[in-house]
Amino acid sequence: MRGRVLVAKPGLDGHDRGAKVVAYALRDAGFEVIYTGIRQRTADIVTVAVQEDVDVIGLSVLSGAHVELTEDIRRRLAAVDAEEIPIVVGGAIPRGDRERLLQVGAAAVFPTGSAVDDVVGTVGELCAQRMASR
Amino acid sequence: MTEGPQSGEELVPWLRQTNAGIPVDPSMAWSGDSGGDARGRRDRSEPGEFPFTRGNSPAGYRDKLWTFRQYSGFGSAEESNARYKYLLSEGATGLSVAFDLPTQCGFDSDSEEAAFEVGRVGVAIDSVRDMARLFDGIDLSRTSVSFTINGTAAIILAYFIAAAEDSGVRREKLRGTIQNDILKEYASRGTWIWPATPSLRLIADTIEFCASEVPRFNAVSVAGAHFRDAGATAVQEMAFTLQDGLTYCDEVVGRGRLTIDEFAPQVSFFFYTHGDFFEEVAKYRAGRRRWATLVKERYGARTDRAAMFRMGCVCGGASLYAPQPENNIVRVAYEALASVLGGVQSMFTAAWDEPFALPSEETTTLALRTQQILAYETGVARVPDPLGGSYYVERLTDETEERIQAVMEELERQGGMVKAIETGVVQRMIAKEAFALQKDVESGARPVVGVNVCRSDGDPPDVETYKMSAEARAAQVARVQEVRRARDQARAREALRSLRDAARDDGGNLMPILVECAHADVTVGEITKELKDVWGEFRQPVDI
C-alpha cells in the first residue's frame, strides 16, 4: 500500500469525472482511495480526513471557488491540529491562481489538462514523505 | 509542431472500431448478413414514418429548421437579460437559461451553502422577482425558453408561469422546456436534492400539469448529455437516456390519470454530439427508432406524435480541448453537421473558449454563426435524412441500436434505472469509460489534434473563471432578504403550509401550490427546505 488518499469534492459543483479518473488511477497505482462523493461541506471533508488518518487530501473543484475552498479546509485542518496533511488541488484553475493556492497551503496544483501520471507521481511523493515522518 | 500518424497502420486500433467500440467492417460490402435486404437494410421506413429512423417529418427541415439555442446565463438576472436580448438580436431563435449552483441545488443566495457560488456558473434566481427581471422586455408569448434545471425544476417552472402571467402572458401560450430530469443528476450531474421516490412524483406532477395547463411546454427533457460529458460512450448515453425516459413514463402511466398519447408529445430528449461523426448520426437515428418502438410496444401508444423522439443537442463539452483552442471551432462545426444529419430539433453550439472560460459575446456569436452557415449556406437542410441508405450509416444504425438494447437489458437486470443509480452501477460504468479514454488520450491510442498529435509549443490559453463582483453578490443577497421582508407574510406562510400538507399526501398535484408559492414571494430555498423536511435527501453512493 503506497498510502491513503482522500479524494474530495467540496462546494456545490457536481462534475466528478476528473475526481473519479484520478481516484481510479491512484487505485490502479496501489494507493488506498477514499472518495467522499460530491457536494461535501469542508467541515465534513476535514472530519473524514482525520478519522480515516489519510496521508493526502485531493480536492477537485470546477466551479471556480478553489481558492476559498482550499483556504477554508486548510484553516479547519489547523483547528484540529492536522495541518500536516498535504492538500493537492485539481480542476478548472487559472494559471494566476496556482501561486495563490500554494500560498494558502496547497502542496501541489493540477489544472485541467494535467497528465494523470503526474498527479499519481506527486501524490506518491507526498505519501512517502508523510509515512516517513510518522 | 509534432506530426500526427501518417499511415493507416499507425491508426489501426482507432480505425477498427468506433469510439463506442462498435467494430467497423472496412470492406463496406453490400450484404444481407445483418438480416436485412440486399443492401443490408432491415428498416425500410420513409422520413416521417414509424419508427422515424429517418426523422419525424416527411419534409425534415423544410417544415421547420432546427432551433438555434445558445445556453447562457451568469451573474444577476439583469446581466443575463442583457445577454439574451443580444442573442435574440443576433438571430437566436430560442433562449436557454443557465442557473447558478445554489439555484440548482435549492439554496437562496444568502445561505451558507451559496457563499462561494452565487451567480458563478449561471444566473442566480431566488424568487419570482428575479424571474421577472430575467425576462424583462422579452415577449414570452413569442420566445421559446429552455431551462437547464432539475432538482428545483418544478419551482422554476412555477416562477416562470407566475412571472409570465404577471407580465400578461397566459400559461397556455408559453413555449419551451424544463430539463426536469433528476435521474441523470443522481448519476452524473449532481444537482439532486430529494430521494428518487418523491422526486419522480414531482416530475410526474409537472408532466400532468403541463399536459393540462401549459400544453406547448415540454415538461421534461430527458438528458443523456451529462452522462456523455461524464464519460459515457455514445451507446451508453442513448441507452441510459431511453431507460430514464421509460422510468418517467412508467411513473405517469402508473398513476392512471393520463395515457401515453396524452403526455408523451411533451417529453423531449437532449444529447451531446461529440466528434465521431458517423457514430453520432447513427446514434440519433437508432435512438429515434428505439424510442418509437418502445413507446408503442411498452405503452401501446396509438398516435405517431406520442412515439416521436424529439431532441435537442449540444456540440462541444468534453470533446473540446484547451491546447490550440481555435481547433474547437472546427470540432464544433463538424459536430453540428453530424447533429443535423442525425435530425435534431434544436442545437446549442459551444463557443471555442468553453474549455477555459465563460464565452464572450464574440465567441458565442461565432458559435451561433456556425449553425447559421450550416442552415442557410450548405444546403444540408434541403432533404430529410440525407445519409439514409448509406451502407455504413444504415449498418452502424442497426449495430448501435442492438448495443443500446443490450445496455438497457442489463439495466433491467440490475432492477431498473433507479436501482442501478442508487447502487452506483451506472456511475461506475461511466467512470470506467472516462478512465479508459483518459488513458487512451495520454498513451496516444486516441489521437487528438493539438493534444497528443500535431502539437505545437507554447502554453494553452489560461483558464478564466467568472466571479460575480462582491457588490453584485451583496445586491443579490439584499434582494432576496428584501423579498422575504416585504411580502405578505400570512400569504407566504399559508402557501408553505399547503405545500407541506400536499407533499405528505401522495394524491394531489404540487404544481398549483408551487405557482401560489411563487405569487406569494416564497423563495427557492424556503420551498426546497420545506420539501426536504418531509421527503429527506438523496444519499449518493460513494463506492467507486
Contact residues on chain A for B321, CB-CB shorter than 8 A: 113
Give the one of B113, B114, B463 whose C-beta lies nearest to A111's C-beta.
Answer: B463
Contact residues on chain A for B116, CB-CB shorter than 8 A: 11, 63, 65, 68-69
- How far does B449 lie from chain A, in Å, by closest CA? 14
* pLDDT, tens digit (0-9, with 9 covering 90-100), for B168-224: 999 999 999 999 999 999 999 999 999 999 999 999 999 999 999 999 999 999 999
A17 with B459: Cβ contact below 8 A: no
Name residues 24-83 of chain A within 8 A of B (Cβ): 24-25, 33, 35-39, 63-65, 68-69
Which three-class secondary structure state does DSSP give residue B209? helix
- How far does B106 lie from chain A, in Å, by closest CA? 11
- How far does A53 lie from chain B, in Å, by closest CA? 18
Asked whether the predicted pLDDT for residue B317 surpasses 80, the reply is: yes
Q: Supply the pLDDT for residue B100.
A: 93
A12 with B229: Cβ contact below 8 A: no
CA distance A111 to A109: 6
Domains of chain A: 4-132 (3.40.50.280)
Asked whether the predicted pLDDT for residue B39 surpasses 60, the reply is: no
Nearest CA in chain B to A40: B113
Q: Supply the pLDDT for residue B37.
A: 54
* pLDDT, tens digit (0-9, with 9 covering 90-100), for B189-205: 999 999 999 999 999 99
The CA R_g of chain A, rounded to the nearest whole Å, is 13
CB neighbour burial string for A26-57, b if at least 16 within 10 angstroms, e if fewer:
bbebebbbbbbbbbbebeebbebbbeeebbbb
**Which amino acid is located at A104 in the chain?**
V
Of residues B478 and B358, the one with the higher pLDDT is B478
Which three-class secondary structure state does DSSP give residue A96? helix
Dihedral sign, Cα of residue B289, residue B291, residue B297, residue B299: negative
Nearest CA in chain B to A36: B542
Q: Supply the pLDDT for residue B213.
A: 97
* pLDDT, tens digit (0-9, with 9 covering 90-100), for B94-115: 899 999 999 999 999 999 999 8
Average pLDDT over residues B252-278: 97
Query: pLDDT-derived band of residue B237, with 50, 70 and 90 as boundaries?
Result: very high
Average pLDDT over residues B386-390: 94
CA distance B180 to B200: 10
- Tally Cβ neighbours within 10 Å of residue B39: 13
Q: Supply the pLDDT for residue B452.
A: 93
Q: Supply the pLDDT for residue B455.
A: 94
* pLDDT, tens digit (0-9, with 9 covering 90-100), for A31-51: 999 999 999 999 999 999 999
Check if A102 contacts B (Cβ < 8 Å): no
Strands (E), B101-164: 144-148
A12 with B230: Cβ contact below 8 A: no
Query: pLDDT-derived band of residue B30, with 50, 70 and 90 as boundaries?
Result: low
Asked whether the predicted pLDDT for residue B365 surpasses 90, the reply is: yes
A63 with B466: Cβ contact below 8 A: no
**Which amino acid is located at B13 in the chain?**
P
Query: pLDDT-derived band of residue B1, with 50, 70 and 90 as boundaries?
Result: low
Average pLDDT over residues B455-464: 86
Cell numbers for B65, please give them. Answer: 429548421
B463 with A21: Cβ contact below 8 A: no
By the 8 A CB rule, do B528 and B152 touch? yes
Check if B438 contacts A (Cβ < 8 Å): yes
User: Of B536, B537, B540, nearest to B422 (Cα)?
Assistant: B540
Residue tagged 431563435 (cell numbers): B93
- How far does A25 lie from chain B, in Å, by closest CA? 8
Q: What is the pTM of this model?
A: 0.95
- Tally Cβ neighbours within 10 Å of residue B275: 16
By the 8 A CB rule, do A108 and A56 touch? no
Q: Supply the pLDDT for residue B33.
A: 53
Query: pLDDT-derived band of residue B34, with 50, 70 and 90 as boundaries?
Result: low
Residue B442, classified by CB atoms within 10 Å of its CB into exposed (0-12), middle (13-18) or buried (19+), is middle
